[in-house]
Amino acid sequence: MIYGYVRYNVDDNENKNQQETLLKEAGVNKIFYDVGSGLDLLRPGLKELLRNAKRGDTILVTKYHKLVRGFPEQIIFMDELMKQGVTIKEILGQLDTSDPEFAKSHKEQMKFFEEIEKEGKEKGWDIEVEEEV
- 123: which residues sit within 8 A by CB, 6+ positions away? none
Cβ neighbours, 10 Å, residue 75: 17
Break the chain into its structural domains and give their ranges: 2-122
Q: Is 49 exposed, middle or buried (0-12, 13-18, 19+ CB in 10 A)?
A: buried
Is the pLDDT assigned to residue 109 strictly greater than 90?
A: no
Highest mean pLDDT among 23-32, 33-42, 60-69, 91-100: 23-32
Q: Does domain 2-122 have CATH number 3.40.50.1390?
A: yes
- Tens-place pLDDT, residues 1-58: 999 999 998 888 899 999 999 999 999 999 999 998 777 778 899 999 999 999 999 9
Rg (CA), the chain: 15
Could you tell me the pTM of the whole model?
A: 0.76
Is the pLDDT assigned to residue 77 strictly greater than 60?
A: yes
pLDDT of residue 76: 77
Distance (Å) of CA 71 to CA 18, 86, 112? 25, 19, 9
Q: Over range 83-101, report the average pLDDT.
A: 87
Find residue 70's DSSP bridge partners.
none
Q: Over range 101-130, report the average pLDDT.
A: 67
Q: How far apart are the first and last CA of the chain?
A: 23
String of DSSP letters for 48-72: HHHHH--TT-EEEESSGGGT--SHH
Amino acid at 10: V
